[in-house]
Amino acid sequence: MRVVIAEDAAMMREGLVRLLTDRGFEVCAAVADAEELRAAVAAAAPDVAVIDIRMPPTHTDEGLRAAIDIRRDHPGVGVLVFSQYVETRYATRLLADRPAGVGYLLKDRVADVADFVDALTRVASGGTALDPEVVGHLLRAGQDTAGVASLTPREREVLSLMAEGRSNAGIAAALVITPGVVEKHVANIFAKLGLPPSDSDNRRVLAVLRHIG
């Protein structure tokens, strides 16, 4: 799997390079600012880019804006935002445009290397990986719809775990319930959100979008 890393902190950048290389990833480029990131993605055509938010020159939201550009210009490239901060405005845009192949993890909440590698692999394969704290910020920043408001507390828990990119089996393990019960909750969520079966739409992704407003 081919990866581009964008991180302005040299120690963090080199640490990510070593971590991923040791686990069999091919790091095509490791850059320190958003312009270098755009150029590296265009030149290397990676499977996924790991992107910090605050990079030169202003150290505000360059990374997220570059991530949105990459998703527009290189739709086959997954984007995993890896930052200390939650930036709701651009994060919502990043997910709303096309949420498949997008992740957002917080650096200080990733305690297990295996979890990070699993999230990166999932995003590169077209899945999603959202930190629960990121989901919470997006919920508070958005507006609750009537469908989401009608969900039970347990259905909201299931939907939150769906937003993290968990499968039904993963949700069952996290909530200590059976996969059959999860399937019933998921079916209820789809019904309350008005998401009928469709060959062209991913209902899990659409449900997550409703969830974040």
pLDDT tens column, 188-207:
988 887 777 766 446 776 67
In sequence order, what E strands does 32-145 have? Answer: 48-51, 78-83, 102-106, 128-130
Mean pLDDT for 109-115 is: 86
Say what angle helices 88-97 and 62-73 make with each other, to 10 degrees. Answer: 10
Domain 2-143 has CATH 3.40.50.2300: yes
The helix or strand, by DSSP H or E, that contains position 26, with its residue range, turns out to be strand 26-31
Question: Which burial class, exposed, middle or buried, applies to 22 when counting CB atoms under 10 A from its CB (0-12, 13-18, 19+)?
Answer: exposed
What class has domain 147-212? mainly alpha
Q: Specify the range with the lowest mean pLDDT, choosing from 23-37, 88-102, 173-187.
A: 88-102
Every domain of the chain with CATH number 1.10.10.10 lies at 147-212
pLDDT digits (tens, 9 = 90+) for 144-179: 455 677 889 999 899 888 877 788 999 999 999 999
Mean pLDDT for 87-91 is: 75
Return mean pLDDT, the chain.
Answer: 86
Residue that wins the pLDDT comparison between 144 and 24: 24
Among candidate residues 206, 67, 211, the one with its CA nearest the CA of residue 148? 211
Every domain of the chain with CATH number 3.40.50.2300 lies at 2-143
Which pLDDT band, with edges at 50, 70 and 90, does 132 fall under? confident
Residue that wins the pLDDT comparison between 203 and 4: 4
Mean pLDDT for 34-52 is: 96
The answer to whether 138 and 213 are in contact (CB under 8 A) is yes
| Separation CA 42–CA 18 (nearest Å) | 23
Residues ≥6 apart with Cβ < 8 Å to 18: none
What is the per-residue pLDDT for 166? 83
